[in-house]
């Protein structure tokens, strides 16, 4: 239930049961994959009107690649379409007629940041973007996944039972395709209702700025030393163990990429840590590590471990995962820079109070990294001349600056 609307129980009114929706209104659309089918779909969508609702399905947790396994589209006056880009002989060429039609259209997605990267891989990029997740969060709804929002706002209960399936499976079962089609079936109606509320509450510009920021945001840059993100790496005790993790992670990633298998399915993080701690050097020792009984590619992992054990001490990686960063991890601030830690506490106190008043999440009001950059920079010789300039340099949006700049300036005793 949203924070700004009284719950039915508080009004002594029995909630109206949501209407269960199991299939699209016009029936399940056929699965398209040939150039002719995609070109026909593009022509039909071009004749529609208003927003183009889109969604994708990926095989996260099953495949190494994050490519789109299925694309769902819907537009008023055109209906719904399901496209299987994995069956295209040449996806970039076969999808090109669709891109020519839909790229200039206004797009509507839910959690666009999850779908835009794989759509860009196919040459699909929006000229204008709206996002029902962004709208829901900035209007203060507590549960903003598509199922909850659709039920709360439209009174419709969608079948959401296939979100974690292996969408690289072929053929795709009809029940999965129904689920996928329903993801765009009522997205336009949901947006219309949310946007009407945003207009009424004066938050439409907030949503516009956030959606535009999302549309223009580049894909994340590759992490430096991504192996340091291995789960539970913090329990390791020395640089030798870190080197084993590093080499196992890199070898696993190379194999996962070759086989298009999610890395954790080849060698889970917990086993990387266990192998790094116990350092088996033979098949017999490897088998004694708990959880390795069904592990495949044992000789590969053993070769990696033995190679790591042979590395000279001077060539081992740095033990601390945050070494070399301009701004240390905030867990170290009280020890390394108490003044910055105090600044950050003040900033958070201010923004938490404003977020509570607006009935939105503090992270939606301003990203934590922007507050950390401001707090740390104030302790350096080249500190920013004003709060506003610091926030802008961290890509804080104008609507956010208008809410937090003055209170932060007052709390930190800095120029606005």
Q: Choose the weakest-confidence range: 172-186, 214-228, 239-253, 300-314.
A: 214-228
Band (14; pLDDT cuts 50, 70, 90): low
Q: Given this chain, do its domains 19-216 and 330-412 carry the same CATH topology?
A: no
Mean pLDDT of 170-178: 96
Quote the pLDDT of residue 36. 97
> What percentage of the chain carries pLDDT values higher than 90?
86
CA 87/CA 71 separation, integer angstroms: 12
**Residue that the structure tokens 């500190």 belong to:** 383
Q: Which residue, 30, 42, 34, 37, is CA-closest to 89?
A: 34
- Render pLDDT for 120-150 as a digit per residue (tens, 0 to 9): 999 999 999 999 999 999 999 999 999 999 9
Residues 226-310, CATH architecture = Orthogonal Bundle (1.10)
> Which residues is 130 bridged to in the sheet?
108
The residues pairing with 71 across neighbouring beta strands, listed in sequence order, are 56, 83
What are the percentages of helix, strand and coil residues in the chain, rounded to 5?
55, 10, 40
pTM of the model: 0.90
Q: Is the pLDDT of residue 298 over 80?
A: yes
- Domain residues of the chain, as ranges? 19-216, 226-310, 330-412
Query: Comparing 379 with 48, which gets the higher pLDDT?
Result: 48
**Residue-averaged pLDDT of the chain:** 93
Top CATH class of 19-216 equals alpha beta
**In 3D, which of 236, 274, 229, 234 has the Cα closest to residue 253?**
229
Q: Which CATH architecture has domain 330-412?
A: Orthogonal Bundle (1.10)
pLDDT value, residue 7:
34
Rounded to 10 degrees, what is the CA torsion of 28, 33, 38, 39? -140
């Amino acid at each position: 239930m949203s924070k700004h609307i009284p719950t039915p129980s508080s009004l002594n009114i029995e909630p109206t049961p949501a209407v269960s929706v199991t299939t699209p209104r016009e029936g399940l659309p056929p699965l398209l994959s040939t150039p002719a089918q995609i070109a026909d779909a593009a022509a039909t969508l071009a004749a529609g009107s208003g927003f183009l609702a889109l969604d994708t399905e990926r095989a996260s947790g099953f495949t190494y690649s994050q490519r789109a396994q299925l694309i769902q589209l819907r537009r008023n006056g055109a209906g719904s379409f399901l496209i299987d880009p994995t069956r295209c002989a040449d996806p970039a060429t076969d999808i090109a007629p669709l891109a020519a039609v839909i790229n200039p259209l206004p797009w509507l997605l839910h959690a666009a940041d999850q779908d835009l990267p794989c759509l860009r891989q196919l040459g699909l990029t929006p000229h204008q973007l709206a996002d029902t997740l962004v709208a829901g969060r900035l209007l203060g709804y507590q549960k903003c996944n598509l199922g909850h929002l659709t039920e709360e706002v439209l009174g419709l209960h969608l079948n959401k039972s296939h979100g974690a399936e292996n969408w690289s499976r072929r053929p795709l079962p009809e029940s999965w395709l129904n689920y996928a089609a329903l993801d765009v079936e009522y997205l336009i109606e949901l947006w219309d209702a949310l946007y009407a509320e945003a207009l009424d509450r004066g938050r439409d510009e907030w949503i516009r700025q956030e959606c535009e920021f999302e549309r223009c945001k580049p894909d994340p840059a590759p992490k430096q030393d991504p192996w340091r993100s291995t789960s539970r790496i913090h329990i390791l005790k020395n640089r030798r163990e870190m080197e084993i993790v590093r080499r196992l992670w890199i070898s696993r990633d190379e194999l996962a990429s070759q086989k298009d298998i999610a890395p954790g399915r080849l060698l889970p993080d917990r086993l990387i840590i266990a192998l790094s701690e116990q350092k088996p050097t033979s098949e017999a020792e490897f088998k004694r590590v708990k959880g390795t009984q069904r592990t495949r590619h044992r000789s590969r992992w053993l070769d990696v471990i033995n190679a790591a054990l042979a590395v000279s001490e001077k060539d081992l990686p740095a033990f601390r995962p945050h070494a070399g960063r301009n701004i240390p991890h905030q867990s170290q601030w009280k020890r390394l820079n108490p003044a910055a830690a105090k600044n950050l506490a003040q900033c958070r106190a201010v923004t938490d109070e404003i977020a509570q008043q607006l009935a939105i999440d503090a992270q939606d009001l301003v990203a934590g990294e922007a507050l950390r950059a401001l707090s740390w920079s104030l302790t350096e010789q080249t500190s920013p001349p004003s709060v506003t300039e610091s926030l802008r340099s961290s890509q804080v949006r104008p609507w956010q600056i208008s809410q937090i700049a003055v209170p932060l300036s007052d709390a930190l005793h800095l120029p606005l």
